[in-house]
Amino acid sequence: MNTLAIPLGLAGLAQVWSLATSALGLPFELGQAFWLVAAVAWIWTVAVHVHRGTRTNQSFTHQLTHFAQGPLAALLPLAAMLLGADLHRTAPLAGTVLTLISMAAAAAFATWILSFWMRGDLPLESVHGGYFLPISAAGLVGALAAAQTGLDWLAVGSFAVGIVFWLVISVFFFLRLALRPAMPAPLVPTLAILVAPPAVASAAWLTISGGRPDHVFEGLTAMTVFMVLIQVMLLPRYRALPFSLGFWSFTFPAASVAALAITWAHLLQPAAWQAITVGVLAAATLLVVVIAAKSIRQLFATTRAARRQM
């Protein structure tokens, strides 16, 4: 299910482009082109997983309760929330409906998987960065999407849920990292998710507060910076990993940080802030393009290998 990170990563990049084009006074349609790519990727990903689901012997419930893969299912409604918030800009009713449906789906999945975890069968070593997705990330991304669609009451409630479970899951996650064996290589990229909650929470709170930066926004930004510094320390570990589709786990956290950096640059407008914005935008775009190119190359290589075995 790590391929579900593809549409979310593309939606995160589209968010960065929307912020950058707005700050730099570029055409609105430029950012919308990236949202279109993200929407197509979301539809394609759903179609592929539905097709594969009909050809597997494992039930859908079994896949959702898998300790490693199950939490990643939350990636689909997360991306749909962001798509709904963007759609609200051009089609308010359709965007609001999509946002509400996505948030309802995320809430249903969050409560269901939390009740599953509460049965007492969850081994601590199975916890990874993806465990932030169903409740914490869903709450914070939902808060951002709801605020952007004008649903302030829903945004505040979703923000509260996201913050509380960010703290709760963080406790279990750091206990797992400290007290259990090292994560297997395919799950190591999920460590990048650590930067997403404070970065998204910062954007959500700024939107909820009407675009006025306050101490809460500054505090969440400081948490984001600290988490980014942790990622810098993890770079040698990331570089040692062989490439896999799990690398898409890097894209949305990186886009979230890039979006926050562009927001701060626009708010403070220091010297050469436009150049800073362009540089951040280019870095986020390059990361996604490189991962996408390597993913396509790996797909072709896998297909050729499968044909040779036939």
Q: What is the mean pLDDT of residues 35-61?
A: 82
Q: With cut-offs at 50, 70 and 90, classify the pLDDT of residue 76.
A: very high
pLDDT at 295 over 80: yes
Domains (range + CATH), the chain: 2-309 (1.50.10.150)
Taking the C-alpha atoms of residue 48 and residue 45, their distance in angstroms, rounded to an integer, is 5
Kindly state the greatest CA–CA separation across the chain.
Answer: 62
Contacts of 5 (CB under 8 A, 6+ apart): 72, 75, 246, 248, 249, 251, 252
Average pLDDT, the chain: 91
Long-range contacts of 40-43 (CB under 8 A, 24+ apart): 41/6, 41/7, 41/10, 42/7, 42/11, 42/76, 42/79, 42/80, 42/83
Weakest mean pLDDT among 175-189, 193-207, 268-282: 175-189
pLDDT at 237: 93
Q: With cut-offs at 50, 70 and 90, classify the pLDDT of residue 70.
A: confident
pLDDT at 105 over 80: yes
pLDDT at 306: 63
Report CA Rg, the chain: 19
Long-range contacts of 95-99 (CB under 8 A, 24+ apart): 95/149, 96/149, 96/150, 96/151, 99/145, 99/146, 99/149, 99/151
Q: With cut-offs at 50, 70 and 90, classify the pLDDT of residue 61.
A: low
pLDDT digits (tens, 9 = 90+) for 223-279: 999 999 999 999 999 999 999 888 999 999 999 999 999 999 999 999 999 999 999
The structure tokens 């494992």 sit at: 58
pLDDT at 202 over 90: yes
- Cβ distance 138 to 106 under 8 Å? yes
pLDDT at 59: 61
Residue 67's H or E segment, with its range, is none
pLDDT digits (tens, 9 = 90+) for 133-153: 999 999 999 999 999 999 999
Taking the C-alpha atoms of residue 64 and residue 160, their distance in angstroms, rounded to an integer, is 25
Q: What's the distance, Cα to Cα, between the start and end of the chain in Å?
A: 26
Q: What is the mean pLDDT of residues 168-184?
A: 89
- The Cα-based distances of 241 to 183, 233, 245 in angstroms read 12, 15, 12
| Nearest alpha-carbon partner for 85 in 123, 35, 132, 121 | 35
Q: With cut-offs at 50, 70 and 90, classify the pLDDT of residue 37.
A: very high
pLDDT at 118: 87
Q: Could you tell me the sign of the dihedral formed by the alpha carbons of 272, 89, 214, 256, in that order?
A: negative
Give the Cα-Cα-Cα angle 301, 306, 308 (nearest 5 degrees): 95
Lookup: tokens for 28: 């609105």
| Residue 71 or 122, more confident | 71
The three-class DSSP label of residue 151 is: coil
Alpha helices in 91-193 (DSSP H): 92-117, 138-148, 152-179
Taking the C-alpha atoms of residue 141 and residue 85, their distance in angstroms, rounded to an integer, is 10
Taking the C-alpha atoms of residue 128 and residue 191, their distance in angstroms, rounded to an integer, is 7
| Nearest alpha-carbon partner for 248 in 287, 220, 274, 222 | 287
pLDDT at 132 over 70: yes
The secondary structure of 258-272 as a DSSP string is HHHHHHHHHHH--TT
Q: What is the mean pLDDT of residues 58-70?
A: 72
Q: What is the mean pLDDT of residues 58-74?
A: 76
Taking the C-alpha atoms of residue 210 and residue 200, their distance in angstroms, rounded to an integer, is 16
Q: With cut-offs at 50, 70 and 90, classify the pLDDT of residue 310.
A: low
